[in-house]
């Protein structure tokens, strides 16, 4: 079937028919395509749109995959034969040789014989319908409300993605040039230090296929990002390599097996690098990270210290490489991406160029139920460095960032039902935990002790033990042995016995049922060997489902009321609303109210507001802009 006006009209009529239920697998994709590319009005659909991907997701949040290919055969008994047929057909004809003979043309579905295409599409359609028949009754029993939230959330996502966010491309260009300049300077210094660089590597002989040790010489361009060149550079400068990466227990998404992944290579992450330099330099590296120093300041300071302390010149290698990595990351992951992906560009009267970034928000990617974001990912924009300077509100609007205050900790309190922690949650939980662990009054708890308590609290939330706790604390500049960490963790459990009760409860529930379920009805099937993840899934997942509920409520309310304010993004525990100034007083307090849950849980769940007038990097408090939000 082709895209013709008649066909589009027919599609629109389907959406307008209140007696219909339209079932898709990954409906969001189709809705977005129909709306964005073909102008179909999906938002006022009278027909009910359902999605088998989401049905599967709410029942099996942690499944390896939610794709039709994966779950179709699994639950409907349909074979993959009809589907594979066309893939096979294409594969046979898309070999390198055949493509070349054809003059570089790669074959697609359009080129395949009609009957193959038809069978392929029919497979999708029939499998989806069968899947719907299987999943929908289960969902109606298990978690109808959760599903309904996710279902409506599809429209919210489509709206957010199509609207996009505005970026200042002139600023991106400026920041990129600046970073490039710094990179040049660092590269010059590094080249001076390490070139020429020689190392030996096993290379496969073209003829025999044997591995032969081969000497490689880097004459004029050292690449700090190269896993081969970096260790060679360290060795050449006489730095003894000490630290190796550790393997991690992971579930292989392809095989579904639990395997040890990675590990065994020389490690040059920041944590290791800091340990290769004197403590004065280590302190600078840490401080610059915490405060987001500009590159030139960092480099100058590092050089100053090496001179002042009469350190060996080679100590410059680790910090310079770290700075090089940071800058190249900013350029390739952020500035370049903005410049490449921004669309609908325009030049303002000021002469600055702007554009719109349409990233994707995926409501079904994370095991816990959280949102993820990609193409580009808006959820990992650096907090302290340049990229946030590029994000600006639309004309005439301010961006309101409404974030839940310590929401995962609050759900943790809720599940543990710990009265002491509950009392301290609106004040300073970490300080409170410190008073208990160290048996000291508030005013005698040192900054360090609070830091340790905070880290321990998160460690517990993440299911970590003494070894990892010690590592984390040490990496944060608080040297801690495994033994010391185990003392702190023990003290934590001594003071908060409710936490052990909670983890035990989750564990036995997991062993009994094979899954645990959060207050919104979302199920987590977790491998027994990963049962320590249960607590985190409950806290992270409940937070995710709460904000998802709020997003749907807010979006529906804004539409109903006819406001111009719009949701433009979410960062896990934060909603961003672009709001015309004349609507702020009405909209923002109401949105916060819709996010908050002051009575439903063991502790109140509350939101806080900040506002962006010019750039994301310059968030202000409501008082700063003279807006008083009613409590």
In the range 365-424, which residues lie near DNA by CB under 7 A?
Answer: 365-368, 370, 372-377, 379-385
Binding map of DNA across residues 253-282, x = CB under 7 A, - = no contact: -x------xxxxxxxxxx-x----------
If you count them, how many residues does the chain have?
A: 631
Pick out residues in 513-532 that bind DNA (CB under 7 A).
532
Binding map of DNA across residues 16-55, x = CB under 7 A, - = no contact: ----------------------------------------
Contact (CB, 8 A) for 386 and 180: no
Report the alpha-carbon distance of residue 573 to residue 61 in Å, rounded: 19
Report the alpha-carbon distance of residue 390 to residue 394 in Å, rounded: 12
Using the rule CB under 7 A, which residue among 233, 414, 459, 612 binds DNA? 459
Q: How far is the CB of 223 from DNA (least distance, A)?
A: 5
- Using CB under 7 A as the binding rule, whether residue 105 contacts DNA is answered as no
Residues 6+ apart with CB under 8 A from 615: 168, 388, 389, 390, 391, 392
CA-wise closest residue to 17 among 49, 54, 39? 49
Q: How far is the CB of 14 from DNA (least distance, A)?
A: 31
Using the rule CB under 7 A, which residue among 94, 126, 451, 463 binds DNA? 463
Report the alpha-carbon distance of residue 564 to residue 584 in Å, rounded: 10
* Complex with DNA: residue 372 or 498, whichever CB lies closer: 372
* Complex with DNA: residue 257 or 512, whichever CB lies closer: 257
Using the rule CB under 7 A, which residue among 465, 477, 519, 604 binds DNA? 465
Tell me the window of 420-428, 468-476, 575-583, 600-608 that interacts with DNA (CB under 7 A). Answer: 468-476
Tell me the window of 118-126, 138-146, 358-366, 493-501 that interacts with DNA (CB under 7 A). Answer: 358-366
Pick out residues in 279-308 that bind DNA (CB under 7 A).
289
Report the alpha-carbon distance of residue 239 to residue 552 in Å, rounded: 56
How many binding residues for DNA (CB under 7 A)?
Answer: 72
Q: How far separated are the first and last CA of the chain, in Å rounded?
A: 56
Q: How far is the CB of 339 from DNA (least distance, A)?
A: 11
Three state DSSP letters for 335-353: HHHHHHHCEEEEECCCCCE
Tell me the window of 182-190, 246-254, 346-354, 603-611 that interacts with DNA (CB under 7 A). Answer: 246-254
Pick out residues in 183-202 that bind DNA (CB under 7 A).
201
Contact (CB, 8 A) for 343 and 515: no
- Using CB under 7 A as the binding rule, whether residue 322 contacts DNA is answered as yes
Q: How far is the CB of 333 from DNA (least distance, A)?
A: 4
Burial class (CB in 10 A: 0-12, 13-18, 19+), 628: exposed
Strand ranges, E, within 384-512: 391-392, 397-404
Pick out residues in 200-239 that bind DNA (CB under 7 A).
201, 204, 223, 225-229
- Using CB under 7 A as the binding rule, whether residue 67 contacts DNA is answered as no
Using the rule CB under 7 A, which residue among 52, 149, 536, 617 binds DNA? 536
- Using CB under 7 A as the binding rule, whether residue 355 contacts DNA is answered as no
387: its two tokens: 């990229």
Cα separation values, 64 from 254, 364, 454, Å:
8, 12, 33
Place of tokens 């350190």: 311
Residues 6+ apart with CB under 8 A from 588: 400, 402, 577, 579, 609, 627, 629
Q: How far is the CB of 409 from DNA (least distance, A)?
A: 12
Tell me the window of 39-47, 66-74, 323-331, 493-501 that interacts with DNA (CB under 7 A). Answer: 323-331
* Complex with DNA: residue 42 or 59, whichever CB lies closer: 59
Report the alpha-carbon distance of residue 624 to residue 611 in Å, rounded: 9
- Using CB under 7 A as the binding rule, whether residue 97 contacts DNA is answered as no
- Using CB under 7 A as the binding rule, whether residue 458 contacts DNA is answered as yes
Q: How far is the CB of 274 from DNA (least distance, A)?
A: 10
* Complex with DNA: residue 34 or 327, whichever CB lies closer: 327
164: its two tokens: 């996009």
490: its two tokens: 């023990």
Report the alpha-carbon distance of residue 170 to residue 167 in Å, rounded: 9
Q: C-alpha 413: how far from its chain's center?
A: 25
Report the alpha-carbon distance of residue 136 to residue 147 in Å, rounded: 10
Using the rule CB under 7 A, which residue among 52, 449, 464, 480 binds DNA? 464
- Using CB under 7 A as the binding rule, whether residue 469 contacts DNA is answered as yes
* Complex with DNA: residue 383 or 586, whichever CB lies closer: 383
* Complex with DNA: residue 188 or 383, whichever CB lies closer: 383
415: its two tokens: 């599940």
Report the alpha-carbon distance of residue 569 to residue 577 in Å, rounded: 7
Q: How far is the CB of 332 from DNA (least distance, A)?
A: 3
Q: C-alpha 336: how far from its chain's center?
A: 19
Pick out residues in 324-353 that bind DNA (CB under 7 A).
325-326, 328-329, 332-333, 336-337
């Amino acid at each position: 079937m082709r895209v013709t006006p008649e066909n589009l009209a027919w599609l629109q009529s389907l959406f307008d028919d209140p007696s219909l239920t339209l079932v898709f697998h990954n409906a969001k994709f189709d809705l977005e395509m129909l709306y964005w590319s073909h102008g179909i009005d999906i938002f006022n659909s009278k027909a009910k749109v359902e999605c088998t991907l989401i049905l599967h997701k709410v029942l099996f949040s942690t499944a390896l995959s939610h794709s039709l290919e994966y779950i179709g055969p699994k639950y409907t008994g349909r074979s993959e034969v009809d589907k594979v047929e066309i893939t096979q057909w294409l594969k046979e004809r898309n070999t390198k040789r055949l493509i070349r003979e054809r003059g570089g043309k790669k074959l697609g579905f359009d080129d395949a014989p009609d009957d193959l295409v038809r069978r392929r599409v029919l497979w999708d359609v029939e499998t989806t319908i069968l899947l719907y028949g299987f999943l929908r009754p289960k969902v109606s029993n298990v978690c109808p409300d959760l599903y309904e939230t996710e279902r409506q959330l599809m429209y919210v996502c489509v709206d957010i993605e199509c609207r996009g966010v505005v970026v200042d491309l002139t600023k991106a260009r400026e920041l990129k040039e600046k970073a490039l300049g710094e990179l040049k300077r660092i590269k010059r210094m590094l080249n001076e230090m390490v070139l020429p660089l020689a190392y030996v590597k096993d290379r496969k002989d073209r003829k025999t296929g044997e591995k032969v040790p081969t000497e490689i010489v880097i004459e004029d361009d050292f690449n700090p990002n190269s896993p081969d060149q970096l260790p060679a550079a360290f060795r050449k400068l006489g730095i003894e390599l000490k630290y190796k990466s550790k393997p991690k227990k992971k579930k292989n998404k392809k095989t579904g097996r639990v395997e040890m992944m990675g590990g065994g290579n020389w490690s040059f992450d920041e944590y290791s690098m800091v340990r290769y330099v004197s403590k004065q330099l280590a302190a600078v590296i840490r401080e610059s990270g915490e405060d987001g120093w500009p590159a030139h300041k960092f480099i100058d300071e590092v050089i100053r210290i090496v001179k002042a302390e009469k350190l060996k010149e080679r100590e410059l290698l680790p910090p310079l490489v770290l700075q090089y990595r940071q800058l190249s990351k900013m350029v390739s992951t952020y500035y370049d991406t903005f410049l490449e992906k921004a669309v609908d560009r325009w030049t303002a009267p000021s002469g600055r160029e702007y554009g719109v970034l349409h990233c994707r928000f995926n409501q079904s990617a994370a095991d816990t139920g959280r949102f993820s974001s990609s193409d580009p990912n808006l959820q990992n924009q650096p907090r302290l460095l340049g990229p946030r300077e590029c994000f600006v509100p639309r004309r005439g609007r301010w961006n309101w960032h409404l974030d839940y205050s310590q929401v995962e900790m609050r759900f943790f309190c809720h599940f543990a039902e710990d009265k002491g922690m509950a009392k301290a949650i609106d004040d300073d939980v970490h300080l409170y935990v410190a008073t208990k662990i160290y048996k000291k009054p508030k005013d005698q708890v040192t900054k360090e002790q609070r830091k340790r308590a905070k880290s321990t609290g998160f460690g517990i939330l993440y299911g970590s033990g003494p070894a990892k706790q010690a590592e984390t604390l040490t990496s944060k500049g608080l040297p801690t042995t495994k033994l010391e960490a185990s003392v702190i963790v023990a003290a934590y459990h001594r003071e908060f016995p409710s936490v052990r009760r909670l983890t035990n409860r989750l564990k036995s529930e997991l062993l009994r049922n094979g899954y645990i379920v959060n207050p919104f009805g979302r199920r987590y099937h977790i491998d027994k060997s990963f049962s320590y993840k249960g607590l985190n899934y409950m806290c992270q997942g409940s937070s995710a489902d709460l904000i998802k509920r709020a997003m749907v409520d807010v979006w529906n309310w804004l539409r109903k009321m006819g406001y111009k304010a719009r949701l433009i993004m979410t960062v896990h525990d934060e909603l961003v609303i672009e709001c015309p100034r004349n609507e702020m007083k009405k909209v923002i307090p109401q949105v916060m109210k819709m996010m908050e849950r002051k009575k439903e849980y063991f502790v109140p769940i509350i939101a806080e507001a900040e506002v962006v007038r010019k750039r994301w990097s310059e968030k202000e408090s409501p008082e700063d802009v003279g807006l008083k939000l009613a409590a």
